[in-house]
Structure 1
Amino acid sequence: MTRDSHNWAYRRIALPVLAMLRMGASPERLAWSLAAGIVIGINPLIGSTTILCFAAAFVFRLNIAASQLGNHIVYPLQILLVVPFIRLGSLVFHTTPLPLSPRSLLATARATPIALVRKIWLWEWHALVLWTALAVVLLPVIALALTPLLNRLLVRVERHQYPILSAD
């Protein structure tokens, strides 16, 4: 079977997970590592996920590669969720809503730049609080859902039903 016969998801997601299983990573540890990466990967603070995944993997002794894989898989979702997190944070914490029009933001930046920076930080802080509450629930749910799937994959890997493709 040639490399071109497999789709992007198989080559970029499935094969790395299969390789980790073949190298002896336990399905439970991989599930928690992937789940941590996925949950950290959707946090509303753009640019923080890679460092947070490394820190979580170090502190909780997770698989670094699996947590980074989970993190990078959900990157588009992080971009999509930033504004909803901020808007929900404004509602929950009763702050002024984020102006979404570029004109409004530019006018505010020109008139009161320091006040805008403070508001942005307040919106971000509220979004992070909401994300943390969601993460506490979402992390074990994802890990517990992935564990049986990875256990089944391990059985197939041990039977050599999933080849690792060569780089040529």
Structure 2
Amino acid sequence: MMNLERSGFFRRRVVEPVLQLLRMGATPQRLAWSIAMGVVIGINPLLGSTTVLALAVASVFRLNVVASQLGNHLVYPLELLLLPVFLRVGIAVFHSPGLPLEREALFHAVKRHPWDTTRLLWRWEWHALIVWLVFAVVVAPLLQMVLRPVLEHMLAKLHAEPVMEK
């Protein structure tokens, strides 16, 4: 029963909006780029920036805003899961000072050295953003190449469906 509910939710919230965009004339290639960019932007380590950033990128590159926001919001849980990964990889790549992710250690650092801790947090964030940017440059085209045939198949099925008259 749970699988059916999930597939119904996925169909209503993901498949149907994409089919609607295809019905309105969006090309599979443009939709694939839009979704891929939304997904990649949706996992960036700068929390709270994904919606605005996805909107800006979609506007600048004339991508489908709805599709990019769909991709962006689908991966929100991944953003939270990948934040520590991007931070740790950034620390390793740029040889930054250690990251006290334990609650007590972080609170202690903020109380004892607030300015130094703030500067260190910003350095970690910048390093994480650079790691994410390299990741995004590699993953976005790959994701687009995977999505395009899927969307082309969806479009072909859409055109093959008989039109019902009301």
Structures share fold, TM-score greater than 0.5: yes
Q: 1:116 to 1:24 in 2, by over 3 A?
A: same
Q: 1:8 to 1:108 in 2, by over 3 A?
A: same
Segments of 5+ residues of structure 2 without an aligned counterpart are none
Match of 1:88 in 2: 89
Q: Which amino acid aligns with 2:58?
A: A
Q: CA deviation at 1:102?
A: 0.5
Match of 1:166 in 2: none
CA deviations 1:81-128 (Å, max 9, x no partner) are: 001100110001001121111100100010011111111100000000
Match of 1:57 in 2: 58
Q: How far apart, CA to CA, are the structure 1 residues paired with 2:6 and 2:111? A: 54
Q: Which amino acid aligns with 1:151?
A: E
Q: Which amino acid aligns with 1:34?
A: I
Match of 1:125 in 2: 126
Q: How far apart, CA to CA, are the structure 2 residues paired with 1:133 and 1:72? A: 21
Q: CA deviation at 1:6?
A: 5.4
Q: 1:39 to 1:6 in 2, by over 3 A?
A: closer
Q: How far apart, CA to CA, are the structure 2 residues paired with 1:65 and 1:148? A: 20
Match of 1:37 in 2: 38
Q: TM-score, normalised by structure 1?
A: 0.91
Aligned structure 1 segments of 4 or more residues deviating by more than 6 angstroms:
none
Match of 1:135 in 2: 136
Match of 1:104 in 2: 105
Report percent identity of matched pairs: 49
